[in-house]
Amino acid sequence: MAQSKRLSDIDFSILDLAPILEGSTAADSFDNSLKLAQRAEELGYNRFWLAEHHSMPGIASSATSVVIGYIAGGTSKIRVGSGGIMLPNHAPLVIAEQFGTLESMYPGRIDLGLGRAPGTDQQTARALRRNAKTDGSEFPQQLTELQEFFRPTSPSKVRAIPGEGLDVPVWLLGSSGFSAQLAGKLGLPFSLASHFAPDYLLPALKLYRESFQPSEVLDKPHAMIAVNVIAADSDEKAKWLATSQEQAFLNIIRGKNGQLQPPVENMDELWSPYEESLVQKMLHYSVAGSPSVVKEKLEEFLVETGADEMIVNTHVFDQAERIRSYELLADVVKN
């Protein structure tokens, strides 16, 4: 049974996809992300995570470790990390060195969230991995290898320098039973991709908690759920801003890639009733509305899931409105 918690009892974090807006560049995206992170730090958000995606014209965070360094270098307190690094795309040694370098530069502020999906299409996955398998079956072995590189006395003759002996918190990310059970058995914190895969959230949460074994990292489960939140001064404005997000998800189900589009007045001119139902199903753990609506919906999610933390994605076209949404959310959480 979900524990009784209030929004003020848990931490809130930010998941940033470094969106490339229609008519803008990746350089603009990085500038926007840094300004958002700086404001998030002022507002008291716990983490600022960036996601690894490839071959997607609307997402600029493909070189995730590099962008994490840029954000961490422009902030001073907020934790910065990956939500996540798709480990099968990389040699574990490379990730250990990259995050060991980041932790050495910004001690006590770096998180390493790991996923086993490619974060892209199969053709791009093959370009990234060359001869490696693309089905994620080797993920547990890669995770073990990565963790060994961080240990003070690695049994491997190969050493991650920097990396060896550093405390870089490792999270598992995902929506499946596989990731949930693995995170539980290893006693690792688990972040659930409920912002686009809502159907698996509750079963994965249950499996994670039931399979959890205490570790040197955690003595009890720690689950962070991802939600889409768009807050504005009125419900009407929030719903209008949310049409950019709806267009992005519509493109996903149509198998199209593109830059983030500006809001539209009428989504019915863009989607069919069937497409609308698919998009709304994917956006089940989402809310767009005034602060009171956002508060009510997030409280429902918290009661339903008993989450220990929430990580929020705000897919809004206008940078000022995106920051404003996080400002309103911070007020909601505090009050």
**pLDDT reported for residue 3:** 47
Q: Give 2's pLDDT tier (boundaries 50, 70, 90).
A: very low
Q: Give 8's pLDDT tier (boundaries 50, 70, 90).
A: very high
CA distance 242 to 263: 7
Per-residue pLDDT of 20-61, as tens digits, reads 999 999 999 999 999 999 999 999 999 999 999 998 999 999
Per-residue pLDDT of 273-313, as tens digits, reads 999 999 999 999 999 999 999 999 999 999 999 999 999 99
Is the pLDDT reported for residue 14 higher than 90? yes
Per-residue pLDDT of 232-276, as tens digits, reads 999 999 999 999 999 999 999 999 989 999 999 999 999 999 999
Per-residue pLDDT of 128-156, as tens digits, reads 665 555 566 789 999 999 999 999 876 66
CA distance 102 to 17: 20
- The residue-averaged pLDDT of 327-331 equals 98
**pLDDT reported for residue 192:** 95
- The residue-averaged pLDDT of 191-219 equals 94
| Selection from 34, 36, 49, 108 nearest residue 81 by Cα | 49
**pLDDT reported for residue 4:** 77
Q: Can you list the domains of the chain with their CATH numbers? A: 7-228+306-316 (3.20.20.30)
Instruction: Determine the 3-state secondary structure of 309 from DSSP.
Output: strand
% of the chain at pLDDT higher than 70: 94
Q: Which of 14-23, 72-81, 113-122, 210-219 has the lowest mean pLDDT?
A: 113-122
**pLDDT reported for residue 134:** 55
Q: Give 119's pLDDT tier (boundaries 50, 70, 90).
A: low
- The residue-averaged pLDDT of 309-332 equals 97
Per-residue pLDDT of 159-191, as tens digits, reads 999 999 999 999 999 988 899 999 999 999 999
Question: Which ranges of the chain does DSSP label H, i.e. alpha helix?
Answer: 26-43, 64-73, 92-105, 122-129, 139-150, 177-186, 201-211, 235-241, 243-253, 273-282, 291-305, 319-334
